[in-house]
Amino acid sequence: MMRTEDRLFMRAPLERVFQAAANVERWPELLSHYRWVRMLERRPDGGVVEMAAWRPFGRLKCPAWWVSEMWVDAATPAVRYRHVRGITTGMAVEWRLQPCYEGTDVTIVHEWDGPRWPVIRRPAAEWVIGPVFVHGIASRTLAGIRQAVEQLYA
């Protein structure tokens, strides 16, 4: 199973970080690598969201696209996804937020068995999709969210 963890400390209160993590429709305004985010179905605890981002490779940009069921859990606090369309169908994602001294520790965990490709399923997930695409986008997302929430508390 492919598993990636991206973690970053943010000098902002947990409530502000949670709000930025859960309000995905604003991500294209905050994060230059996001092409678009569309809520396809709204529910009180989340909904179905379509996301598209760029994964840069030097001067080149590779597009990535997926659709996820999204659950927002303010009590935990966490934001969870299950990818339901795209190459990463079946991927589970969880944003874990932990208050700590002077801010919030944020970890994004991605777990996935890989694409439905015979023979190369695991190598594709573990050697390319996870470390190159998932980590590449998640690390930029964390950095952009951190910049946005820390600007409010600088």
pLDDT given for residue 14 in this prediction: 96
pTM of the full predicted structure? 0.93
Going residue by residue through the chain, which has 154 residues, state the pLDDT in tens, using 9 for 90 and above: 999 999 999 999 999 999 999 999 999 999 999 999 999 999 999 999 999 999 877 788 889 999 999 999 999 999 999 999 999 999 999 999 999 989 999 999 999 999 988 888 888 899 988 888 899 999 999 999 999 999 876 5
Q: What CA–CA distance (Å, rounded) separates 129 from 121?
A: 10
Picking from 1, 112, 30, the residue whose alpha carbon sits closest to that of residue 66 is 112
Q: Are 74 and 18 in contact (CB under 8 A)?
A: yes
| Full DSSP string of 93-130 | EEEEEEEETTEEEEEEEEEE---S-TTTHHHIIIIIII
Q: Within 13 Å and on the Cβ side, how many CA atoms surround 3?
A: 4
Which tokens is 122 given? 């695991």
CATH of 2-152, one of 3.30.530.20, 3.30.460.80, 3.40.47.40, 3.40.1280.10: 3.30.530.20
